[in-house]
Structure 1
Amino acid sequence: MLKVAVLVSGGGTNLQAVLDAIDAGRITNAGVCGVISNNKNAYALKRAEDHGIPAQCISPKDYETREEFNEKFLEAVDALTPDLIVLAGFLVVIPAKMIERYRNRIINIHPSLIPSFCGTGFYGLKVHEAALARGVKVTGATVHFVDEGTDTGPIILQKAVEVEADDTPEKLQRRVMEQAEWKILPQAIDLIANNRITVEGNQVKISR
């Protein structure tokens, strides 16, 4: 059974998609062992508690230095003894020490087709604003492993979503969530839980 720790900053819609997929049997051989947020007001914490999952807030605001926060944050993650860490809208830079310790065991969901509209500064609505400003006809979402760069780790899954003529950033964001993010994040977790993923360099191989 794959133990999954989920890190969140906001509403937790991707967390909910994962929990629903586990309940529905679309994710097998995996369970969420804990949820950590950097925001004490994150609705994701309530989603976790409602599901009987241990949830806690560890915020950089509560520590005098980033180094102290990083240390306490890593301690909290280690205490969960996760096999996989899922960043589900987590807006905190992951400490390098944690990336090294959990190499190819941290995944992130990003609301674009990487390498488009990704990297430093591209998060939340900003991604969809940029896509609309560029006039792309197709956008989507990407699940990737986390490395030391920003959105540069090996790509696991991608799903395209068409841009519509009357889209606003908010409308596009919602459709990317519904049609892509909430589908491929659970799918990626299921693949990992069932040993169907191998990483070779910057390439992800999926076995049948």
Structure 2
Amino acid sequence: MLKIGILVSGGGTNLQAVLDAIDCGTITNAEVKVVISNNRNAYALERARNHGIEDFCISPADFKEREEFYEALLSKIDQYCLDLIVLAGYLVAIPAAMIKKYRNRIINVHPSLIPSFCGKGYYGLKVHEAALARGVKVTGATVHYVDEGMDTGPILLQKAVEVREGDTPEALQRRVMEEAEWQILPQAIQLIANGQEESQ
């Protein structure tokens, strides 16, 4: 059984997609053990509670030094002996020590087709604003392994989404979530849980 920890910063729609996929059997051999947020008001924590999953807020604001925050985060994650850490809209940089310790066991979902519109400053609505400003006809989402770079780790899955005439950043964000992120994040977890990711 793959033990998963999910890190979130906001509403937790990707978290919900994973929980729903586990509930309906689209993801097998996996369970979410803990949900951690840097934001105590994140609705994602409520989603975890509703599912009977342990949840914690570990915020950089509660620590004098960033290193103390990193130590607290890593210490909490270590308690759960996790097989996989999923960044599902987590807006805090992951410490190098955690990347090293959990090498090839951390995945992230990013709302564009990497290498487009990724890296520093590209998160949330900013990604979709940039895609529309550039005039691309196709965007999408990517699930990738996390390494020391920003959105530079090996790509696991991608799914394209059409950009429509008159799209606003908000409309595009919603479509990318519904048609790509919520599809490929559970799919990636299913592949990892069942040892199939190498064949993709």
Measured after TM superposition, the shift of residue 73 of structure 1 is: 0.6
Following TM superposition, the consecutive aligned residue runs of length 4 or more in structure 1 with deviations greater than 3 angstroms are none
Local SS of the residue matching 2:20: helix
Q: In the alignment, which residue of structure 1 is the partner of 2:43?
A: 43
- TM-score normalised over the length of structure 2: 0.99
Q: In the alignment, which residue of structure 2 is the partner of 1:160?
A: 160
Equivalent-residue separation in structure 2 for 1:132 and 1:153 (angstroms): 25
Letter in 1 for 2:174: R
Q: In the alignment, which residue of structure 1 is the partner of 2:101?
A: 101
Letter in 2 for 1:90: Y
Q: Are 1:59 and 2:59 an aligned pair?
A: yes
Measured after TM superposition, the shift of residue 166 of structure 1 is: 1.1
Measured after TM superposition, the shift of residue 42 of structure 1 is: 0.2
Q: Are 1:128 and 2:166 an aligned pair?
A: no
What is the aligned residue count? 200
Measured after TM superposition, the shift of residue 197 of structure 1 is: 1.9
Equivalent-residue separation in structure 1 for 2:78 and 2:39 (angstroms): 19
Equivalent-residue separation in structure 1 for 2:143 and 2:197 (angstroms): 13
**Deviation per residue, 1:33-69 (Å, 9 max, x gap):** 0000000000000000000000000000000000110
Letter in 2 for 1:143: V
Q: RMSD of the TM alignment (CA)?
A: 0.5
Local SS of the residue matching 1:40: coil
Q: In the alignment, which residue of structure 2 is the partner of 1:147?
A: 147
Local SS of the residue matching 1:149: coil
Q: In the alignment, which residue of structure 1 is the partner of 2:11?
A: 11
Letter in 2 for 1:93: A
Local SS of the residue matching 1:86: strand
What does residue range 63-78 of structure 1 map to in structure 2 within 5 Å? 63-78=63-78
Measured after TM superposition, the shift of residue 124 of structure 1 is: 0.1
Measured after TM superposition, the shift of residue 111 of structure 1 is: 0.1
Local SS of the residue matching 1:156: strand
Q: In the alignment, which residue of structure 2 is the partner of 1:194?
A: 194
Measured after TM superposition, the shift of residue 80 of structure 1 is: 1.5
Share of identical aligned residues, percent? 74
Equivalent-residue separation in structure 2 for 1:128 and 1:197 (angstroms): 28
**Deviation per residue, 1:122-176 (Å, 9 max, x gap):** 0000000000000000000000000000000000000000000010000000000
Structure 2: 5+ residue runs without aligned partners?
none
Equivalent-residue separation in structure 2 for 1:167 and 1:31 (angstroms): 36
